[in-house]
Amino acid sequence: MRTQVAIIGGGPAGLLLGQLLHRYGIDNVIFERKDRDYILARIRAGVLEQGTVGLLDEVGVSARLHHDGLVHHGIELAFGGARHRIDMTKATGKTVTVYGQTEVTRDLMDARLAAGLTTVYNADNASLHDFDGDQPRVRYVKDGVSHEVTCDFIAGCDGFHGVSRQSVEPKVYERVYPFGWLGLLSETPPVSPELIYNNHERGFALCSMRSSHRSRYYLQCALDDHIDNWPDDKFWDELKRRLDPEAVDHLVTGPSIEKSIAPLRSFVAEPMRFGRLFLAGDAAHIVPPTGAKGLNLAASDVHYLSTALREFYADKSAAGIDDYSRRALSRVWKAERFSWWMTSMLHRFPGTDEFSARIQRAELSYLVESDAAKTSLSENYVGLPY
């Protein structure tokens, strides 16, 4: 097999890249280790920046998003038993859209199928070769049979545990946080029309949603905790302890549809280009989920990468691909800073003293009293320009 761009990984980064390249007339094949149903069962991100929505518009996969997605103009911060609204649209003129990653992925998969583009699911043991030269190769095994693909470029979109970053030796910057997030999805109406980020002495809690009848809640938990320790009743009791009184009154509880624990990590691999191999999305960087940036960074990476490859093929210029890593990392680091800051401001850090708790409280009250601080939070939350 031969293709122009071999894409490793069929998550949001790989699928969106595939559609963008297709739109620019660039042939591509996706090699994905799992199958379609496995990927669609992963409950992850929920908040899309306006720029991400714009990219989905550009590739023509946003009809369902505009029909079912919830456009939000603000978020609420809760601490000390009270809630404070941050009007992001007033501060920036922009909005975010609440629409699950699962649905984004489904829309992209359907569009890829409709366009007749090739995705090889259950592609085992992928290995990357000769990306230092002009003709990289990808080898993989499918149904016990080995295959080899030649290409012009390889896009490593295979997430944090993928083979692409493991095939090179980037410099790595990392911070692991001493807690995780326990998430619960339920078929219940959201407690409030907007997201509520709660700082509480028992630990952080987030009230989010997927639709007018489906809610997503998160609780800060210990790193070594396990979902078996969290029957639904215990989850709801703990959530009520961390919410403000009005939210407790409005909370509708019900059986969980999904429950999972995710560790929190900040991670950046530099550079994001190695010859003709490019890293994009979680393969190159991880943010703690507090700023809702992971999926959105995957989208901005593949925007930069697709325009660079378009320049290479259409204008015969390598300027874009030469600048890809610098451009992407410049935006990545700002999102890393924002996600680290939101995480530091909103969580309980085990072992920290009363001074740290007072500084955290001062940060939160400054934020809700200062228009400048609210604008700063808002412009990062809705997404910095590309």
Residues labelled as active-site residues: 72, 197, 289, 293, 381
298 SS3 class: helix
In terms of CB distance, is 107 or 282 closer to ligand FAD? Answer: 282
CA atoms of 331 and 328, how far apart (whole Å): 6
Q: Do 92 and 378 touch, CB atoms closer than 8 A?
A: yes
- Smallest gap, in angstroms, from Cβ of residue 13 to ligand DHB? 17
Closest CA to 302 of 71, 3, 23: 23
- Smallest gap, in angstroms, from Cβ of residue 354 to ligand FAD? 30
Helices first, then strands: H and E counts in the chain:
13, 20
Tell me which DSSP letter residue 289 carries: G
CA atoms of 67 and 54, how far apart (whole Å): 15
Q: Work out what residue 216 binds among ligand DHB, ligand FAD, none; the CB cut-off runs from 5 to 8 Å by kind.
A: ligand DHB
In terms of CB distance, is 216 or 327 closer to ligand DHB? Answer: 216
In terms of CB distance, is 239 or 295 closer to ligand FAD? Answer: 295
Q: At which residue do the structure tokens 């030796």 appear?
A: 169
Before 271, cis peptide (omega within 30)?
yes
Closest CA to 277 of 182, 170, 183: 170
- Smallest gap, in angstroms, from Cβ of residue 261 to ligand FAD? 9
Q: Work out what residue 32 binds among ligand DHB, ligand FAD, none; the CB cut-off runs from 5 to 8 Å by kind.
A: ligand FAD
Q: Residue 9 has which token pair?
A: 């990984």
CA atoms of 122 and 384, how far apart (whole Å): 36
In terms of CB distance, is 19 or 199 closer to ligand DHB? Answer: 199
In terms of CB distance, is 78 or 292 closer to ligand DHB? Answer: 292
- Smallest gap, in angstroms, from Cβ of residue 331 to ligand FAD? 13
Q: Could you tell me which residues are beta bridge partners of residue 261? A: 182
- Smallest gap, in angstroms, from Cβ of residue 314 to ligand FAD? 25
Q: Work out what residue 190 binds among ligand DHB, ligand FAD, none; the CB cut-off runs from 5 to 8 Å by kind.
A: none
Q: Residue 126 has which token pair?
A: 């992928």
Q: Work out what residue 282 binds among ligand FAD, ligand DHB, none; the CB cut-off runs from 5 to 8 Å by kind.
A: ligand FAD
Binding site for ligand DHB (CB under 6 A): 45-47, 195, 208, 216, 289-290, 292
CA atoms of 71 and 106, how far apart (whole Å): 20
* Radius of gyration (C-alpha) of the chain in whole angstroms: 21
Binding site for ligand FAD (CB under 6 A): 8-14, 31-34, 39, 44-47, 101, 123, 126, 157-159, 161-163, 181, 183, 262, 281-282, 289, 292-296, 298
